[in-house]
Amino acid sequence: MSDLQKTTDILRDLIGFPTVSVDSNLAMIDHLATLLADAGARIDIQHDPTGKKANLFATLGPEGDGGIILSGHTDVVPVADQDWTSNPFVMEERDGALFGRGTCDMKGFIAACVAMAPTFANAITTRPLHFAFTYDEETGCIGGGALVENLREKGLRPALAIIGEPTEMRVIEGHKGCFEYTTHFTGLEGHGSSPDLGVNAAEYAARYVARLLDLKDRLRARAPADSRFDPPWTTINTGGIHGGVAHNVIPGKAHVDWEMRPVQPGDAELVKRDLHDYCANHLLPAMQAVHPDASIRTETWGEVVGLEPMIENAARDLVMELTGANGADTVPFGTEAGLFQTLGMDVVVCGPGSIAQAHKPDEFIARNQLDQCLKMLHRLTERL
């Protein structure tokens, strides 16, 4: 059986695990652990605090530092309210493309890595090869953060990491961070006919969003002159405003979902400091003048650092050699790559499939993309 057919068969099984971020990924992790153990890998399953999710860290070759990590996340985004033409958790092949939730983001890369595990095992001599498959990347890179912290506690530091997010096999050496928040407003309900007797949480949420819009303009003016990102400045997005129960009721609760994607650490600090001061000095005093128990609280969903482009990056150079690329790019979307970089590793993002297909109904990956990925991994065996 060809490696491409093995990869396709494994991918079909992986798509059958509905690992939406709100659900458990344990069945898929156990399946991957079995496949890698059969190839001779040492298995380390790291559960989250609930015991319902886990990371898989598997190793072929000798113990110790150095070596390479092949990393991907096992969770997928929801399919609810999306108009699919087929069952999203039953992989279908049409016109040279494989359809199903997670095919490109990013179970295709995981399937290729696992299909190649027996070949890797026969090639490894002096340095280890690790497989790092994580949970909850789509909801703040929670699993990736836990895995990196686990490696830090163990004092294990691989040399290189390849993150197989869908880049159409382009070599990516940098991306922005992704900081996600929900800011909660608690006011005082009342009758809509007497607005001064209540604290309208929805209105204060609206003022908060107006401040976010002001910060968007200020950040645009702070774009670094040498920024390689598109757009070149730190962005802010208001993802949702929620509050209220009826036309004639003063909303007692509201919340704003928002995110920012920093291009430089100072921008994130500027935003957080400005919002803190605005709430402490303006919004909250006005709310508490009417209702002393009124409050504003910001919940952090995730603060995932970006992947900083480095002048010297052995992972980038290796993957450029393996793929034949003559340059490396940056992308606007986030990955777990920056987390691995915090360990002092050289990190690159490169994987099969297009980000344009991710998160959409009828998500797919082209078979020729998997074939290109397998060719890269075959060339990697020569370096092991």
Cα 76 to its chain centre, rounded Å, is 10
Which member of 3, 75, 138, 363 is catalytic? Answer: 75
β-pairing verdict for 54-60 and 129-134: antiparallel
Point out which residues pair with 296 in neighbouring strands: 185
Amino acid at 124: I
Gap between the Cα atoms of 134 and 25, Å rounded:
9
Of 3, 105, 136, 137, the active-site residue reads: 137
CA 382 – CA 321 distance, rounded (Å): 12
75 part of the active site: yes
Element (H, E) at 260: strand 253-261
Residues 188 and 127: their CA atoms lie apart, in Å, by 62
User: What letter represents residue 174's amino acid?
Assistant: G
Q: Is 137 a catalytic residue?
A: yes
Identity of residue 88: P
Summary count for the chain: helices (H), strands (E) = 11, 17
Q: Give the CA distances from residue 175 to residues 231, 259, 307, 330, in Å, rounded to whole numbers and listed in that order.
A: 11, 15, 5, 6
Per DSSP, the three-state class of 69 is strand
Listed residue (178, 137, 99) closest to 21, CA to CA? 137
Q: Residue 151 region, left (φ>0) first, then alpha (ψ -120 to 50), else beta?
A: alpha
> How far apart (Å, rounded) are the C-alpha atoms in residues 7 and 108?
8
Element (H, E) at 208: helix 201-221
Active site residues: 75, 137
